[in-house]
């Protein structure tokens, strides 16, 4: 006969199992989107079909995001000629802070503004920064949350793997 | 509001502490949290009021070592000049004295758990204090919630100084002080247990709750303060006696802090704290603060109200000598209200040719305190010849000004 | 129901519930990309730790109450 406490414990256990299996969107088609870009134009994800795409969700108030920006720029310059592109998605409602950060830390890759958090929601962003790797067929292959020193090597490994396909 | 907390058993806070501890055992780190930023601060302070002037300085340096460790070192010094009303009431002369404190602190981040270790050493001629601290904090719910536990253990040695050379012609007559060998060295130990919870409520608001139990054991009195008891018909009508405090004290404090982001880019801060202890002191603090950035400046304004009741062995004037086992006339244990108004301004600037400094600020702050004692009298005004007998002199009140000037850099 | 079973069941429930509360990915209602206001320095509880440590010390020396603010103590035989 199950005591009240043991039943409660089992309920908690099953909830835990269900909760922890709620997962990320690996190996599924990357959700499409179209966002205003820096400089005034509009960028649509579909225009990069056939290339390896790395989407980086960032904000100027996020310290690790700011730290990885110059490294992302070198990665972009290195792999762009090989069919790679880096799409930087700024998640702030006001573009003013992003623009003033980019003035101090210039980058050469395209930056788009997700002011209403539509795309962040679509990609189920779980932390800042979040880096998404999309293969040439348009499928999400890896989602990496946060940045610490050395992660840029992880990024480059993933890019090389996807470029070879 | 009356919180009836089980002071001796402390059982009410055990359940969330146990839950937090269990989680730390089962917890699987998933995403990284962040360590505090690297920074250095240099602070100069000036406190004036109540017959005392205290100039102070404090320097702190904090630096990350690798990805998981942040270390900090703090050194502070105070030079106390003058004499408070308590010192003057007991007949002692104004003095000048230095206190210094060193502290070392380390934070270690693994996954979503931060471990903190710290040691502090404080020394002045008549007081030595050593503290060891340990803390754990854990982030959960997508970083919306942080639960923390802290433990501090303090060892204190209390001495008493006497004046070897006391020259009344000088501003600070007590020129040379030595340890009073008849007093010797008294020990006082303190243990503090704290639990904290920080919760993000909405995009614009966050709340923090902190509960701390502190227990003291040993010699808890003050070597320089005296009690007063009535001696009707003799001289001034009162005599001084030694202060005798109980040798144990346990206190509970619950603090709440709520911050809200205002749409025009400002912040409001509301704080409340409730305190009670085994000496039957009950105290409440309420504070409102407002922060307004404007271009490179940030302006702060605060108002604080504090009220406390007296310890059950406190009296301004005892009816006779040794009427109670424990007796104190320590104004910090009396019934009083305190009002504080504070304001600060901070200016952010870039130091030329210092690219390794990501940010630097110059800051100035001034706080004005008013203490209104309800059962502590200004004994210096006792003068039976003018009709001011002990116990009838006016209640004491004092105003203090505290000024701070500090510079901070981030790298 | 014996006391031992009751204690075991309670410990298991507390353990598993704390696992649920603390360690699984419950959907946060403020998303990581919605934290710009909370990340603003003016929303920090302790923007200038050296300054607030000094003020906490001044206040603690002049009153009977201590603790409850999350700040560590320090020794002082202040008169």
Topology at the third CATH level for domain A25-164: Glutaredoxin (3.40.30)
- Is C49 a domain residue? yes
pLDDT at B31: 37
Alpha carbon C62 to its chain centroid, in Å, reads: 25
Kindly report the nearest CA distance between residue C11 and chain A, in angstroms: 9
Domains of chain B by residue range: 11-410
List the chains bordering chain C where 3 or more Cβ pairs fall under 8 Å.
A, B
For strands A84-90 and A111-113, give the pairing: parallel
B128 half-sphere exposure, CB direction, 13 A CA radius: 6
Q: How many domains does chain C have?
A: 1
Outline where DSSP puts E strands in chain A: 28-29, 34-36, 42-44, 52-58, 84-90, 111-113, 130-134, 139-145
pLDDT band at C71 (very low <50, low <70, confident <90, very high): low
Q: Is the pLDDT of residue B9 over 50?
A: no
Question: CB A59 to CB C36 under 8 A?
Answer: yes
Domain boundaries, position C40? 3-61
Name the pLDDT band for C17 (thresholds 50, 70, 90).
low
Question: Span B360-389, mean pLDDT?
Answer: 94
pLDDT 10s digits, B292-350: 999 999 999 999 999 999 999 999 999 998 899 999 999 999 999 999 999 999 999 98
Contact C30 B84 (CB under 8 A): no
In chain B, whose CA is at the least distance from the CA of C44? Answer: B259
- Chain A with chain B: Cβ pairs closer than 8 A: 13
pLDDT band at A19 (very low <50, low <70, confident <90, very high): very low
Q: Where are the beta strands (DSSP E) in B159-281?
A: 161-166, 174-179, 186-202, 205-218, 226-230, 238-242, 248-262, 266-277
Residue C78, in any domain of the structure = no
What would the mean pLDDT of A21-37 be, rounded to a whole number? 75
Can you tell me which residue has the tokens 């720029």? Answer: A73
Task: State whether C70 and B74 contact (CB < 8 Å).
Answer: no
Choose which CATH entry (2.40.50, 2.40.160, 1.25.40, 1.10.357) describes domain B11-410.
Answer: 2.40.160
A20–C25 CB contact, under 8 Å: yes
Whole-model pTM: value is 0.84
Which range scores top for mean pLDDT: A40-44, C2-6, C69-73?
Answer: A40-44
**Could you tell me if residue C69 is inside a domain?**
no
Look at C43 and B267 and tell me if their CB atoms are within 8 Å: yes
The reply to whether residue A127 touches residue B67, judged by beta carbons under 8 angstroms, is no
Q: Answer yes or no: is C71 within a domain.
A: no
Residues of chain A found within 8 Å of residue C36, distances taken between Cβ atoms: 59, 61, 92-93, 97
A2 to chain C, closest Cα gap in Å? 10
Mutation site, B53, B215, B275, B336, interface C, largest C CB count within 10 A: B275
């Amino acid at each position: 006969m199950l005591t009240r406490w043991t039943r409660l414990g089992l309920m908690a256990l099953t909830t835990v199992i269900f909760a922890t299996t709620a997962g990320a969107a690996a190996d599924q088609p990357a959700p499409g989107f179209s966002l205003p870009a820096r400089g005034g134009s509009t960028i649509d994800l579909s225009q990069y079909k056939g290339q390896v795409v790395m989407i980086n969700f960032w904000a100027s108030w996020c310290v690790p995001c700011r730290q990885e920006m110059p490294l992302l720029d070198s990665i972009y310059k290195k792999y762009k000629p090989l069919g790679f592109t880096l799409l930087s998605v700024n998640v702030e409602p006001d573009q003013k802070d992003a623009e003033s950060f980019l003035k101090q830390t210039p980058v050469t890759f395209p930056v788009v503004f997700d002011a209403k958090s539509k795309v962040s929601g679509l990609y189920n962003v779980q932390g800042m920064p979040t880096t998404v790797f999309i293969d040439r067929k348009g499928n999400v292959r890896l989602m990496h949350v946060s940045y610490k020193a050395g992660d840029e090597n992880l990024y480059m490994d993933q890019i090389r793997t996807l470029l070879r396909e | 509001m009356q919180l009836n907390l089980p002071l001796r058993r402390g059982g009410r806070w055990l359940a969330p502490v146990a839950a937090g501890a269990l989680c730390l055992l089962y917890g699987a780190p998933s995403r990284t949290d962040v360590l505090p930023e690297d920074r250095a601060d240099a602070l100069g302070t000036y406190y004036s009021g109540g017959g005392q002037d205290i100039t102070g300085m404090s320097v702190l340096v904090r630096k990350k070592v690798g990805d998981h460790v942040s270390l900090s070192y703090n050194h502070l010094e105070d030079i106390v000049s003058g004499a408070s009303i308590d010192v003057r009431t007991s007949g002692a002369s104004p003095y000048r004295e230095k206190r210094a404190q060193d502290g070392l602190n380390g934070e270690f981040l693994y996954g979503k758990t931060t471990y903190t270790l710290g040691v502090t050493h404080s020394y002045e001629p008549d007081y030595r204090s050593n503290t060891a601290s340990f803390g754990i904090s854990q982030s959960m719910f997508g970083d919306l919630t942080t639960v923390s536990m802290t433990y501090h253990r303090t060892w204190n040695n209390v001495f008493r100084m006497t004046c070897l050379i006391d020259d009344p012609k000088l501003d600070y007559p007590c020129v040379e002080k030595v340890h009073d060998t008849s007093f010797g060295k008294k020990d006082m130990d303190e243990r503090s247990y704290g639990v904290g919870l920080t919760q993000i409520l909405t995009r614009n608001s966050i709340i923090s709750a902190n509960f701390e139990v502190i227990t003291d054991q040993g010699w808890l009195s003050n070597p320089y303060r005296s009690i007063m008891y009535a001696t009707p018909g003799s001289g001034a009508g009162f005599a001084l006696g030694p202060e005798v405090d109980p040798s144990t004290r346990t206190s509970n404090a619950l603090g709440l802090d709520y911050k809200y982001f205002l749409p025009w880019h400002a912040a409001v801060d509301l704080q409340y704290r409730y305190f009670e202890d085994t000496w039957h002191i009950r105290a409440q603090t309420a504070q409102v603060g407002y922060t307004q950035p404007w271009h490179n400046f940030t302006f702060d304004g605060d108002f604080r109200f504090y009220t406390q009741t007296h310890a059950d062995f406190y009296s301004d004037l005892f009816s006779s000598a040794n009427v109670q086992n424990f007796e104190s006339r320590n104004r910090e244990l009396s019934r009083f209200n305190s009002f504080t108004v504070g304001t600060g301004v901070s200016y952010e600037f870039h130091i030329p040719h210092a690219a390794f400094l990501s940010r630097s600020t110059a800051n100035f702050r001034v706080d004005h305190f008013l203490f209104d004692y309800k059962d502590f009298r200004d004994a210096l005004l006792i003068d039976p010849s003018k009709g001011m007998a002990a116990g009838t002199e006016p209640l004491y009140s004092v105003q203090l000004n505290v000024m701070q000037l500090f510079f901070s850099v981030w790298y | 129901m014996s006391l031992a079973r009751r204690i075991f069941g309670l410990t298991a429930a507390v353990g598993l519930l704390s696992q649920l509360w603390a360690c699984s990915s419950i959907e946060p209602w403020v998303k990581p990309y919605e934290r710009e206001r909370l990340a603003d320095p003016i929303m920090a509880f302790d923007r200038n730790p050296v300054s607030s440590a000094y003020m906490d010390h001044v206040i603690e020396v002049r009153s009977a109450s201590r603790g409850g603010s999350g700040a560590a103590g320090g020794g002082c035989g202040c008169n």
